[in-house]
């Protein structure tokens, strides 16, 4: 398999889509990785497996409609395998395995059959456990790579901080020809309204030169302003705090002209259509209860040049 990912919006040809099969039921609070999941565990509204399977099948059917080759992880019994973006990413022709939370190591083994189809010289893994990054924090944008990180003094105790400066440096080291720009994100294990779990929870390019941004997701106003200057204020859709909570920036592009979006994202979907973009609406509100949405549950392998 010849990998090719240069941005978030070129025509998609192959993708890994996570799985909600045998999801493992409602976790204990101590087992949850994010404040939104904890909120729903406490409220008794944590998503049911059947509903999540149905939501992911709706996405699978959209991919088939657009002739996208879809790979699924091998099912591990009683194990959450929805968020394929966390465990690895592709930059150009490089497959880069994330340094993820230790409890999630099984997930990479479930896509080993895909990795086996890739030139081993193009498969990368960070050489040290001290190098942390996840795919949701890394956004490839042609000759730029945007990376979410966290510079708080409590990083070591902050379970929602997934990418550290060492992770940023590692990505730069294997992509020296790219301009890497990092963004210090706001984190909160207590309040999901204040938690940018990954960069794609508060920012994502879309269409032709457009972007979705949540200003309050950035700890440093100058870093937010960098993106405004980069894309142009007239090309940005700003999402509000409640829209960030519902994951408005975590849609997924099949091409510059087609996106998959949650069916309840009325304001965003209207704006996307105003930009000339076809919006394939799917139900994904149950999966969103785990603080992840469409980009989080997909890992693109091949996009056209």
Write out the chain's pLDDT in tens, 305 residues. Answer: 999 999 999 999 999 999 999 998 899 999 898 999 999 999 999 999 999 999 999 999 999 999 999 999 999 999 999 999 999 999 999 999 998 767 777 899 999 999 999 999 999 999 998 999 999 999 999 999 999 999 999 999 999 999 999 999 999 999 999 999 999 999 999 999 999 999 999 999 999 999 999 999 999 999 999 999 999 999 999 999 999 999 999 999 999 999 999 999 999 999 999 999 999 999 999 999 999 999 999 999 999 98
CA neighbor of 249 nearest in space, from 291, 278, 187, 208: 291
In residues, how long is the chain? 305
Residues 6+ apart with CB under 8 A from 255: 9, 10, 11, 12, 66
Q: For 50, which DSSP code?
A: H
Nearest to 298 by CA among 156, 93, 65, 136: 136
- pLDDT, residue 105, reads 79
What is the structure's pLDDT at 220?
98
Closest CA to 139 of 194, 101, 181, 169: 181
Q: What is the pLDDT of residue 104?
A: 77
């Amino acid at each position: 398999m010849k990998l090719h990912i240069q941005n978030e919006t070129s025509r998609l040809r192959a993708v890994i889509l996570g799985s909600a099969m045998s999801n493992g039921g409602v976790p204990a609070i101590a087992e949850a990785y994010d404040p939104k999941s904890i909120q729903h565990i406490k409220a008794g509204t944590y998503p049911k497996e059947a509903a999540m399977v149905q939501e992911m099948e709706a996405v699978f059917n959209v991919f088939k409609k657009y002739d996208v080759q879809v790979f699924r992880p091998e099912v591990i019994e009683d194990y959450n395998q929805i968020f394929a973006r966390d465990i690895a990413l592709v930059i150009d022709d490089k497959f880069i395995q994330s340094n993820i939370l230790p409890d999630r190591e099984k997930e990479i083994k479930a896509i080993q059959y895909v990795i086996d189809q890739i030139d081993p010289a193009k498969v990368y893994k960070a050489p040290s456990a001290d190098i942390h990054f996840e795919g949701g924090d890394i956004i490839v944008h042609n000759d730029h790579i945007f990376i979410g990180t966290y510079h708080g003094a409590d990083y070591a105790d902050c379970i929602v901080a997934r990418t550290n400066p060492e992770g940023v440096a590692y990505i730069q080291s294997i992509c020296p020809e790219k301009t890497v720009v990092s963004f210090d994100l706001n984190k909160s294990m207590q309040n999901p309204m204040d938690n940018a779990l990954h960069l794609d929870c508060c920012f994502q390019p879309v269409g032709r030169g457009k972007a979705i941004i949540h200003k309050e997701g950035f700890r440093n106003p100058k870093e937010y302003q960098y993106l405004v200057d980069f894309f142009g204020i007239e090309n940005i859709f700003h999402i509000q705090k409640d829209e960030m909570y519902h994951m408005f920036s975590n849609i997924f592009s099949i091409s510059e002209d087609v996106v998959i979006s949650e069916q309840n994202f009325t304001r965003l979907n209207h704006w996307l259509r105003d930009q000339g973009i076809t919006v394939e609406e799917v139900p994904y509100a149950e999966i969103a209860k785990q603080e992840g949405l469409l980009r989080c549950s997909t890992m693109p392998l091949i996009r056209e040049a």
